Amino acid sequence: MKQNDDFQKKLLATFQVESLERVRSVIDGLLRLEKNADPTEQGDIVESLFRQVHSLKGAAGAVSNHDIERICRSFENIFASLKKGHTRITPDVLDLLHRAVGQLEHLLSDITSASSPGERGIADALTAELERFLAGGVAPSAGSSLQSADAASPPVPQSIPGTGGEASLHSETVRIAVTKLDSLMLQAEELVSTKLSAAQRTADLQTMAQDFAVWKKTWRKVYDDVRALRRTAEKNGGSPRQGRDPRGFLEFMESSSPFLGDFEHRLAAATKTSLRDQRSLTFMVENLLDDAKKAIMFPFSSLLETFPRLVRDLARDQRKDIDLRMQGTGIEIDRRILEAMKDPLIHLMRNCVDHGIEPAGERERKGKPARGTVTVSVSHKNGNKIEVGISDDGAGIDPKLIRMAVAKQGILAESQASALSDEEALSFIFQSGVSTSPMITDLSGRGLGLAIVRERIENLGGQVSVESLPMRGTTFHLILPLTLATFRGILVRLDEHLFIVPAANIERVIGFRKEDVRTVENRETLSLNGEVVSLVRLGDVLGLRERSHDRDSTGSLQAFLLNTVNRRIAFMVDTVMQEQEVLVKTLGPQLARVRNIAGATILGSGRVVPILNVTDLVKSALRFSAGEHPQPASREGGETVPRQSVLVVEDSITARTLLGSIMESAGYSVTTAVDGIDALTKLRTGEFDIVVSDVDMPRMNGFDLTAGIRADKRLTDLPVVLVTALESREDRERGVDVGANAYIVKSSFDQSNLLEVVKRLI
């Protein structure tokens, strides 16, 4: 019985993987069907879709999943109707098919041997919806002819021409559990440490051999001197005139000669063997690591499978017409990087749709095509890196709005923000809190998304930059490593401390003298090829007490020059030691985020060495140069900081209690109101730092409440957050019009998002 159960589980797992591939192919086909107006090509796409769902129906029958089998039969009937021309391809038809295939994907994502009542309910509702559509748009004979199709055909994978998204199965491929690949990769990476340790042992032996050779040379000289001394003593009657008789010493040295010869031979043999083993181990580890890397390398397209539908759904929600184009997505990259990049890429896509592409009417007034375009391009970069470009042909980013946001957030003084060039202003969009959106929504406007994107990319060892042209659009450039396994690092020493700096971020190593250092505006600088760069001491930036004498040194000093986006800073150290291969070790959940430290590595000697976080290092250097210091967590003398006050406006007792509890747990003082009129009364008699309000309420709704707040001179700057179930674009635009600062949809409600928004607005 257990054997049958195990077989059934394996069969279901195989069915799930194959079926999800077919569903993704159907999604891809529907998207191409939506964009293609040529009747011949539409017919080819419909034929491919028909064959895909037919194969999926057969596979479902083979594992006795009758719910999915029934859904696929209804799909077949619709595609058959489209083939025969009984049903036209319209937006309504495509919307229905997209909704249906989305539900089918949901059923397949958590499949079990027996369907739950909830899953059967989904299947019944979906089948009924498809059949109702057919009853109104298909001749009776069309559906009946397909009802007799073979529902028990075996699940044989097929390669259907034109489906685009399906992964063909050949004898050269095999499905392997991700956990097994991760285990293989982990073991291969651990061997790197063994390889480095073996190299260190070989180096130690070679050093010993060199030291022994020096000692032997000295020993030979002393031995010759003692022999000469003995000959002199013998000429003088058998004993020296002064001092002790050297014959005992000479006898010891002579008796040591065979031992030294044997030791030298054994040391040379051990060194030779160690060197041979090290070369062999290096060869095997590098081959194993390369194969392991290839095993977890996935095409970039695997990350983008869901993006066409994502862009389509976002565009329809925004009432925009947008094409998604993808180029070079066959380039393979480490699966771990793909997983880490999913959320940043989704945010950038949303940014393009929400901020970038204009509505069709506005585009036409500007003389642009009504349909906008978002492009994702992937290409190889020099070395072990790739470049991902995400661009739109929208309105571009207005540098004036960025300067205003930078000044409003207090990042720069208004005069400094106004003096920024367009390029300098654009770089601030990655600064936390900076947004050009007039209101915070569930899609954008918090000013945190791009900051998180940059942090995620830089934590992977990559870089991000942006360029934008008014009326022509915006492009984000992402530089990413191909793999996370190892990288080249520079080992530097500061007193007794050792650190690793990623070599990819070091422009050059600098040797200079104390007199080369110049002080400009109380900051130390160096002149490199006519350009002045800032100079800081690594120990100062890291907060280490240096015992070095570089401050008073008159000899040669050393520094490494970091080159990040728009920043070049030289960091002074005691010694730049060597470049070497580095295997990254995370710090673990207890130290998930340590400023200036990205991880650690183990040297061949067994010593654990921190790996410096280049992005943090530059930020810390800039703060140190500006004389900034961390502020204490609490005020002196035990003075209590007054809690910030929040007015929660909600007619539902349950929702009011929930919101009040969330805010109180976060340390805020909470007052509640049951509707807009009650809220205005309390606002006139009390002092509040922010209002969090529902929209749909009796007597006075959230929109009217917000308008009333903005009309009161005393309250005009009071932040207002609307938390509502109304999620249409018209409602969001109305929220902007009445002056709300944030608009959070309850269907995507997350208390961390609410707290994040409140913290930013207060």
Q: What is the pLDDT of residues 656-693, one digit of tens each?
A: 877 887 888 888 889 999 889 999 999 988 889 999 99
Cα distance between residue 392 and residue 355, in whole Å: 10
**What integer pLDDT is reported at residue 248 of this predicted model?**
61
Q: Is residue 421 one of the residues assigned to a domain?
A: no
Q: Is the pLDDT of residue 376 over 90?
A: yes
Q: Is residue 288 one of the residues assigned to a domain?
A: yes
Structural domain ending residue among the three candidates 592, 625, 658: 625
114 φ, ψ to 5°?
-130, 130
Q: Is residue 300 one of the residues assigned to a domain?
A: no
Write out the two tokens for 495. Answer: 């007193």
Q: Is 206 exposed, middle or buried (0-12, 13-18, 19+ CB in 10 A)?
A: middle
Q: What's the chain's average pLDDT?
A: 77
Neighbours of 275 (CB within 10 A): 17
CATH, residue 132: 1.20.120.160
**What integer pLDDT is reported at residue 163 of this predicted model?**
32
Q: Which of 1-10, 19-28, 255-264, 267-276 has the lowest mean pLDDT?
A: 1-10
Are residues 735 and 596 part of one domain?
no
Share of the chain above pLDDT 70, in %: 79
Neighbours of 119 (CB within 10 A): 18
Region 118-122: mean pLDDT is 68
Are residues 123 and 53 part of one domain?
yes
Q: Is residue 82 one of the residues assigned to a domain?
A: yes
**What integer pLDDT is reported at residue 182 of this predicted model?**
73
**Taking CA 45 as the corner, what is the angle to CA 73 and CA 37, rounded to the nearest 5 degrees?**
125
Q: Per-residue confidence at 170, pLDDT binned at 50, 70, 90?
A: very low
Cα distance between residue 643 and residue 99, in whole Å: 47
Instruction: Give start and end residues of each alpha helix (H) in 156-246.
Output: 178-235
Q: Is the pLDDT of residue 595 over 70?
A: yes
CATH, residue 729: 3.40.50.2300
Please give the helix or strand (H or E) that residue 599 lies within, else none. Answer: strand 597-602
Q: Per-residue confidence at 378, pLDDT binned at 50, 70, 90?
A: very high
Q: Is 314 helix (H, G, I), strand (E, B) or coil?
A: helix
* pLDDT single digits (tens) 540-590: 888 876 555 454 555 789 999 987 655 788 999 999 998 887 877 777 655
Instruction: Name 509's bridge partners.
Output: 560
Q: Per-residue confidence at 632, pLDDT binned at 50, 70, 90?
A: very low
**What integer pLDDT is reported at residue 631 of this predicted model?**
42
Q: Is the pLDDT of residue 167 over 50?
A: no
Share of the chain above pLDDT 90, in %: 12
CATH, residue 362: 3.30.565.10
Name 61's Cβ contacts closer than 8 Å, sequence gap at least 6.
Answer: 69, 151, 152, 153
Q: Per-residue confidence at 633, pLDDT binned at 50, 70, 90?
A: very low
Q: Which of 139-153, 160-174, 470-484, 588-602 has the lowest mean pLDDT?
A: 139-153
* pLDDT single digits (tens) 463-483: 888 999 888 899 999 988 887
**What integer pLDDT is reported at residue 219 of this predicted model?**
74
* pLDDT single digits (tens) 397-452: 888 888 888 887 777 788 888 888 888 888 888 876 666 665 555 545 444 567 77
Is residue 333 a contact partner of residue 482, using CB atoms and an 8 Å limit? Answer: yes
DSSP E strand boundaries for 505-548? 506-513, 518-520, 523-528, 531-537
Write out the two tokens for 110. Answer: 């958590």
Q: Per-residue confidence at 370, pLDDT binned at 50, 70, 90?
A: very high
Q: Is residue 416 one of the residues assigned to a domain?
A: no
Q: Is the pLDDT of residue 243 over 60?
A: no
Q: Is residue 745 one of the residues assigned to a domain?
A: yes
* pLDDT single digits (tens) 250-298: 666 677 777 777 777 878 877 887 787 778 777 777 777 777 777 778 8
Are residues 490 and 464 part of one domain?
no
Q: Is 624 helix (H, G, I), strand (E, B) or coil?
A: helix
**What integer pLDDT is reported at residue 493 of this predicted model?**
92
Q: Is the pLDDT of residue 208 over 80?
A: no
Question: What type of residue is 604?
Answer: G
Are residues 674 and 602 part of one domain?
no
Q: At what angle do helices 66-84 and 91-109 cross, to 10 degrees?
A: 160
**What integer pLDDT is reported at residue 573 of this predicted model?**
93
Instruction: Label the pairing between strands 473-481 and 385-392.
Output: antiparallel
Q: Is the pLDDT of residue 50 over 90?
A: no
Write out the two tokens for 50. Answer: 């028909």
Cα distance between residue 601 and residue 499, in whole Å: 9
Cα distance between residue 350 and residue 340, in whole Å: 17
Are residues 741 and 618 part of one domain?
no
Are residues 613 and 715 part of one domain?
no
Q: Is residue 715 one of the residues assigned to a domain?
A: yes
**Taking CA 89 as the corner, what is the angle to CA 85 and CA 349, rounded to the nearest 5 degrees?**
155
CATH, residue 493: 2.40.50.180
Q: Is the pLDDT of residue 325 over 70?
A: yes
Q: Is residue 635 one of the residues assigned to a domain?
A: no
**What integer pLDDT is reported at residue 144 of this predicted model?**
33
Short-list 571, 588, 431, CA closest to 506 = 571
**Taking CA 41 as the corner, what is the angle to CA 37 and CA 42, rounded to the nearest 5 degrees?**
60
Are residues 470 and 329 part of one domain?
yes
Are residues 328 and 454 part of one domain?
yes
Structural domain total, the chain: 5
Name 169's Cβ contacts closer than 8 Å, sequence gap at least 6.
Answer: 157
Q: Is the pLDDT of residue 119 over 50?
A: yes
Region 48-58: mean pLDDT is 82
Q: Is the pLDDT of residue 193 over 80?
A: no
Are residues 650 and 587 part of one domain?
no
Are residues 493 and 474 part of one domain?
no
Is residue 437 a contact partner of residue 454, using CB atoms and an 8 Å limit? Answer: no
Structural domain ending residue among the three candidates 125, 147, 169: 147
Are residues 78 and 120 part of one domain?
yes
* pLDDT single digits (tens) 684-727: 888 899 999 988 888 888 999 999 998 888 888 899 988 877 76
Find the domain containing 695 and state its range. 645-761
**Taking CA 63 as the corner, what is the angle to CA 61 and CA 65, rounded to the nearest 5 degrees?**
65
Structural domain ending residue among the three candidates 280, 295, 310: 295
Region 84-93: mean pLDDT is 81
Are residues 744 and 599 part of one domain?
no
